[in-house]
Structure 1
Amino acid sequence: MAVAVAYAGLALVLAVAGLGIGGYFVYTKSRIDPVARVDAIVVLGGDHDGRQEYGIELAQQGISRNVVLSDWLTGAEATAKYCAILDTRFVVRCVRPVPSTTRGEALFTRQLAAENGWTSILVISWRYHLPRARYIFGQCFDGEIRMRAVPRDYRRSLAAWEYTYLYQTVGYAKALLQGAC
């Protein structure tokens, strides 16, 4: 019995270490595409970590005339102020995804692209979500997809990083099982 417990403990340690090492290379070192002119900037929902500001800044620099903010936190004051921006250089649209997931965001992007003739998008999220978001958007959107991380550092505990890597990995597995949109 003691040997079985020791093996189980060793297996757990190896799984946690494997997730941490693998997560570091897959998520922390994820590919970030260069900024280029696109038909629309799509800012994914989530933490108010500067992503809305970054999307608006890129539009102000002339990267796109269209900014789409995922408004899955309906009523959130932080998102509402960006939804109300009026600028002659670009249009801001706030859309609530159905379902309230990355897949829902990819689905509304596909619909908006079809309605507006968009063939290229720049998707903004936090760095650790980019690989999964790239996969999901690739399943739902036929045009050019560029991915950019919010330009900021995240300071977290080792346990928080393990949770982040596990969450993203489980979400990736779900997306693989769901397949194309």
Structure 2
Amino acid sequence: MRATTVLVRGPNRRRRRRQTLLAAAVCLVLTLALAVGVLGYQLFTRDHQDPLRPADAIVVLGGEHDGREDYGLELAADGYADTVLISDPYRPYKRSEQDLMNRVCDAGTDSIEVICFEPHPSTTRGEAMFVQHMATARGWRSVIVVSWRYHLVRARYIFGQCSDREVVMRSVPRSYAQSWRDWAYTYAYQYGGLMKATALGCDT
């Protein structure tokens, strides 16, 4: 009597299929992560600031006391504008922050006006809305906006939503060296901010 060999292929086929699907899923995730990283680099790490030119006002956005307030004042001292708007959403202050804000908010001279303001809401959108209000009241046609290098694309987009004035974007002259974890967080935060700005629009 001849022996008969029976091949059981069902479980093996299912296992191979699961492995193929898993490999495809991993490849998809890695591809998406690479695409997000490359796009993030183009949007947030590369410098998107504009060449400096005179404007009606200089706007220093909130976010971090990293020299931005003094940079805005320096631009005014160099003759790029005679009004400096400094966003002040940081309250309550630490002692060092209080001293800094007191100093820069009192830095006006006979030729340079300094206006510190608390935006509502305390976001880039609130800052852009305040600038639009001031521009309308004073007849400004252009402003220089100072913020982080990685914030410029989002800030430009929001100011484009909330203001019809010409905007010159400038990044704070500072080191932007960060770990990959910090950049990952920065990219995620800026992507989220862009999506939020798209959803909210701007009601001035």
- Structure 2-normalised TM-score? 0.83
Work out the percentage of aligned pairs sharing the same amino acid: 45
Post-superposition offset of 1:3: 4.7
Using the alignment, how far apart are the partners of 1:45 and 1:4 within structure 2?
Answer: 46
Q: Does 1:159 align with 2:181?
A: yes
Is 1:12 equivalent to 2:29 in the alignment?
yes
Q: 1:142 aligns with which of 149, 164, 172?
A: 164
Q: Tell me if structure 2 keeps the 8 A contact 1:20–1:161.
A: no
Residues 21-53 of structure 1 deviation map (CA, whole Å, 9 limit, x = unaligned): 111111222421111111100000011111111
- Larger Rg, first or second structure (1 or 2): 2
Give the Cα separation in 2 of the matches to 1:118 and 1:69: 16
Q: State how far apart, in whole Å, the 1-side matches of 2:29 and 2:111 are.
A: 54
CA contact (8 A) 1:19 1:162 kept: no
Tell me the CA shift for residue 8 of structure 1: 3.8
Number of matched pairs: 181
1:72 match: 89
Tell me what 1:106 maps to. Answer: 128
Q: Which residue matches 1:49?
A: 66
CA contact (8 A) 1:39 1:64 kept: yes
C-alpha distance 9-80 of structure 1, shift in aligned 2 (>3 A): farther
Partner SS for 2:81: coil
Per-residue CA shift, 1:9-29, capped at 9, x if unaligned? 333333322221111111222
Q: CA deviation at 1:64?
A: 0.6
Residue in 2 that maps onto 1:34: 51
Structure 2: gaps of 5 or more residues: 1-17
Paired AA for residue 152 in structure 2: L
Alpha-carbon separation, structure 1, partners of 2:108 and 2:48: 32
Q: CA deviation at 1:2?
A: 4.8
RMSD over aligned CA atoms reads: 1.6
More deviation, 31-40/6-15: 6-15
Which consecutive residues of structure 1, in runs of 5 or more, have no partner in the other structure? none
Code of the residue aligned with 1:97 in structure 2: it is P
Code of the residue aligned with 2:63 in structure 1: it is G
Alignment check: 8 A CA contact 1:16 1:162 kept: no
Bigger mean CA deviation after superposition, 57-66 or 169-178:
169-178
Deviations, residues 53-108 of structure 1 (Å, cap 9, x unaligned): 11000001111110000000023323332112131121110111110110000000
